[in-house]
């Protein structure tokens, strides 16, 4: 068996089980721990797994319940950078809400293997983290919107109202000076409740979303504590958001030499 074949088998093994201990991987593939460790290092570099104490967790969206390929093809590097920066704002042991979307999915990927409580109405995020032994996951139910795999509707909103978290991390379809917008009215209802149920509201959106307006308004900037975007954000937008008291964090995109810039609160 070649190294490529072995890594393919290891990837499939992890994808089927989510989290696997190192001893189980060595037994399944009949190789040494040092070989498995080298393979995991390679797979982690490719974004397929995340190494944890005593094993590894599968974090790729390759085998997610729903495919995000079409939407994730846009601003991939930006979304990955934003996901890492947003996850860095979360402390171990905190409770947070994650709504559905390709950018919040990247936040979930960056949180894999960490001891946090996550409340989500997203099936892809639940599929990603539901087998992670470090994460305590609460999946909110309701009507499943087929395009995104997100639970919506009155039941979803009611369940979200019964939960309190430290942080709500949400995406959006458009950002204007008068507030944040999304393309689905039912989704906006759920997101508004998430904002009410959290001590702190964090918006994650790549710079291409600025200056766009969508069907329904999620809320105003006065309801937002932090915005995490990429470092290609126009400086004029930074100034506008600072006037609203929003803390802006610009995550460096791979290949861009600029550093993370954080505006004062």
What is the structure's pLDDT at 59? 77
Show Cβ contacts of residue 226 under 8 Å, excluding neighbours closer than 6 positions.
Answer: 89, 200, 201, 202, 203, 246, 247, 248, 249
248 touches 239 (CB < 8 A)? no
Look at residue 19 in the predicted model and tell me its pLDDT.
Answer: 80
The structural domains of the chain, ordered by start, are 3-58 (1.10.10.10), 69-262 (3.40.50.1360)
- 177-215 tens-digit pLDDT: 999 999 888 889 999 999 999 999 999 999 999 999 888
Q: Of 229, 211, 38, 52, nearest to 129 (Cα)?
A: 52
Separation of alpha carbons 106 and 59, rounded Å: 10
Q: In this structure, are strands 179-182 and 174-176 parallel, antiparallel, or unpaired?
A: antiparallel
Which residues, other chains included, contact 208 with Cβ-Cβ below 8 Å and sequence gap of 6+? 74, 75, 78
Q: Which of 203, 172, 243, 240 is nearest to 89 (CA)?
A: 203
Greatest C-alpha distance within the chain: 60
| Axis crossing angle, helix 154-161 with helix 185-196, rounded to the nearest 10 | 10
pLDDT in tens, the chain (265 residues): 788 889 888 887 887 677 888 999 999 999 999 999 999 999 988 888 888 888 888 776 554 443 444 454 456 789 999 999 999 999 999 999 999 988 999 999 999 999 999 999 999 899 889 888 999 999 999 998 867 789 999 999 999 999 999 999 999 999 999 999 998 888 899 999 999 999 999 999 999 999 998 889 999 999 999 999 999 998 899 999 999 999 999 999 876 544 444 444 3
Q: What's the predicted TM-score (pTM) here?
A: 0.74
The Cα 8–Cα 66 span in angstroms is 21
């Amino acid at each position: 068996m070649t190294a490529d074949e072995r890594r393919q088998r290891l990837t499939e093994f992890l994808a089927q089980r989510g989290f696997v201990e190192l001893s189980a991987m060595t037994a399944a593939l009949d190789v040494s721990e040092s070989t498995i460790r080298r393979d995991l290092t390679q797979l982690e570099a490719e974004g397929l797994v995340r190494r944890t104490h005593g094993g590894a967790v599968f974090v790729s969206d390759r085998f997610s319940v729903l495919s995000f390929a079409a939407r994730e093809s846009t601003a991939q590097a930006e979304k990955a950078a934003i996901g890492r920066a947003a996850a860095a704002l979360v402390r171990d042991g905190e409770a947070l809400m994650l709504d559905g979307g390709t950018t919040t999915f990247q936040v979930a990927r960056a949180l894999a293997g960490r001891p946090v409580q996550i409340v989500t109405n997203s099936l892809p995020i639940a599929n990603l983290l539901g087998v992670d032994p470090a994460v305590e996951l609460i999946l909110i139910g309701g009507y499943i919107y087929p395009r995104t795999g997100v639970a919506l509707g009155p039941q979803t909103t009611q369940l979200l109202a019964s939960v309190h978290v430290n942080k709500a991390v949400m995406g959006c379809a458009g950002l204007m000076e008068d507030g944040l917008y999304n393309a689905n009215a039912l989704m906006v209802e759920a997101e508004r409740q998430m904002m009410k149920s959290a001590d702190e509201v964090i918006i994650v959106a790549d710079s291409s979303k600025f200056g766009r307006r969508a069907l329904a308004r999620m809320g105003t900037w006065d309801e937002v504590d932090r915005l995490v975007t990429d470092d290609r954000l126009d400086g004029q937008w930074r100034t506008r958001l600072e006037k609203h008291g929003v803390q802006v964090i610009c995550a460096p995109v791979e290949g861009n030499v600029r550093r993370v810039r954080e505006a004062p609160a």
